[in-house]
Amino acid sequence: MLVYGTKSFREHCREHGIAATHQRQVLYETMKTMHGHPSPEEVYARVKKKAPAISLATVYKNIHLFVESGVFRKVSMHHGPVRVEMNGEPHHHMVCSKCRKISDIGEKELGFVAKRNRLPGGFLVERYAVDVIGVCASCQMA
């Protein structure tokens, strides 16, 4: 996973300069238990069960805050609505061109391990992201 582990929610907030509120903690704790690449609406549906007074706008605002501060990452925007990256291990994505489902694929499975820090023109690499576009098994059966 991205940032959790042995650190507490408050430690993560302190490291990333975020105020540790109750709603943010509920949101963070919920998100860290979700698998895949949830949309804000999917996160909202889960969080609403634990914090009925929370609004969708609050979920969007805090997901944006978590992404901007580096707690979580956003999955590539060109695959539809915003999705949040929950897997902190080095990996890439397989995207179904029909249902838009996003699945992780490890670097080793892809046979691609990039070690260069700089590309031509002085481009400084922060991380590599490869998107494999195709049709998932479920959509092939339909």
Q: Which stretch of DSSP H or E encloses residue 91?
A: strand 91-96
- Does pLDDT of 16 surpass 50? yes
Q: Going by C-beta distance under 8 Å and a sequence separation of 6 or more, which residues neighbour residue 51?
A: 22, 23, 26, 27
Task: Tell me the residue length of the chain.
Answer: 142
DSSP class of residue 79 equals: G
With CA atoms as reference, report the closest residue to 109 among 128, 95, 93, 96: 93
> How is the chain split into domains, by residue range?
9-79, 90-141
pTM for this prediction? 0.68
Same fold for the pair 9-79 and 90-141: no
- Does pLDDT of 3 surpass 50? no
Architecture field, domain 9-79 = Orthogonal Bundle (1.10)
The listed CATH number (1.20.59.10, 3.30.1490.190, 3.30.9.10, 3.30.499.10) that belongs to domain 90-141: 3.30.1490.190
Give the model confidence (pLDDT) of 119-136 as tens digits.
667 767 666 677 788 888
Q: Are 89 and 74 in contact (CB under 8 A)?
A: no
Give the model confidence (pLDDT) of 74-88 as tens digits.
886 665 677 888 777
